[in-house]
Structure 1
Amino acid sequence: MAKKQLPAASYCYVVDGASALQGVLNMRDLLLASPEARVEEIMIRDVLKVPPFTDREELVAMVARKHYLAVPVTDENGRLIGVVNTKNIIASTEAEATEDLQLLFGGSAEERAFSPAWFKITRRLPWLTINLATAFLAGSVVALFEDFIAKVAVLAVFLPIIAGQGGNAGTQTLAVVIRGMLMREIAPHNAWQLVKTEFWVALVNGAATGLITAAAAVLWKGNPWLGFVVGVAMVVNMVAAGLSGALIPLAMKRLGFDPAHSSGIFLTTVTDVVGFFAFLSTAWLLQSKLI
């Protein structure tokens, strides 16, 4: 029978007579140490260790900070009962990240590239139906200004630009926040600081993209008021997108839901509704300058 090949060890864990963990010894240090040196003289006593019921996400965060190749597991009496190979942790984290990516946009964690077509349909269609309902909500905002758009047709050109830019900005924030949650970087005590930071980032990015879009509108149509309307709407939507990208996953976690589960759909709804309304309502207020 072939023997199972075990991964090469990089650490030696030092225990006493009761199997209690005393320290860790790097194999390189052991090989380079003097033949007369005692183990207790070259081992590291301050050892990162975890109890057997440590949450996997918490362990991932530890490994990411310390860059260890393995983590010892000890019981309530400090006895060494096992070792976690970080390669296994990374593999499991990559699998979870793939699931989160699928859930983020309304997919299914069980779906694979060559899953049966009917399985794919049953997993995707419910969320597509929800997304369709939210799209009707965004469309209803445009319908409120239907007659006005007919008078100023150029507004229709900028609607997808403003909504799309907001969606992109919100998705950037959403990805960072969900990763921060996975890595345990975000906690109740620093969540508000995160929201404030994302607000200022969105405001600056919104001002920059708003100026560029406004300049393009003025150069195209020669109407500075059109540029003003486009610029204001861009800033408002970018700020709304940044705040939504931070607040939606935080709110979902607070309510006990998986933050990765379809946050993208709700984010798209917010950016479309806010973007359309900010743009069209501002244009309506200044219609005498645009017609």
Structure 2
Amino acid sequence: MKFNNFRIKRKSWFRALFNLNSSILPVVWEKAVFFGVLSFFVCFANHFGYSIAKPALTGLIPTIVLSLLLAFRTNSANDRFWEGRKLWGMIVNTLRNLAWQIWVNVREITPDDKQRKIQNLKLLTVFAITTKNHLRGKIGEEEIKPFLSDYHYHHLKTSQHLPLQVAAYLGEYLYKESQQKNLNQYQLSSMQELINILIDMVGGCERILKTPIPYSYSIHLRQLLFLYCVLLPFQCVDQLKWGTIPFVIILAYVLYGIEAIALEIENPFGTDKNDLPLDQICQTVNQNIQDFIMNQNR
């Protein structure tokens, strides 16, 4: 059994080397080729005796300075990515807790009470979907329509902030149940606190979305990257000769790849391969809610 698992891991590792779907290669290969062509002309001139090698250029942009800039850029983007993941983890957990509290605490006196409860449990799925679409700058009307009553659906179409409006629907439902004595004040306060947490989590995601890495910093880093890769062939050609070409291509790929990865994950709510799997997370929330309703109806 262990041997089979080892073989599977080896195959997965080898297959990952040639996986271009999630690779950064399609984004940076043109830059690497550009600097490879530049290196060819430098090597060509050096081969025919032109004094083109300039090892002194090594100190113009110290490698440690560029490394620190890239590390800061990558760490900042990575922090944003993981903060986004933690916020969505909190959203999922809070939705589950709220679903449990609604089902357990809200009393059912008439059949209509149960139907209202189920309809508002579906709003928890709608909250997850509208939050996802809100962060992506979309409405997603058709995606939320199956979970909504006609009144809620038409009213949401005119709302400017759908997650906030869905939270208002949930708060309104709980308040009405409290007025009808189907919910006591302690239970109401507990569930309202969960709704407040959901709103705070949406605000945290919006903070990430609307506070990008300063553009001047990105421009400065790109300028230094370009200058470093342009000067690199002149530094290496005297020692590496024609080997300068693959060396510069590989190094340009590595450096621009790091910068491209940071650029891709600094907004973790998009639809790229390396962004957070928000569609799957919303499907998980919906499945949890549906399983919960079905189990409680048995």
Higher strand share: 1
TM-score of the aligned structures, taking structure 2 as reference length: 0.25
Q: TM-score, normalised by structure 1?
A: 0.25
Instruction: Select the structure with the greater relative contact order (CA < 8 A; seq sep ≥ 6).
Output: 2
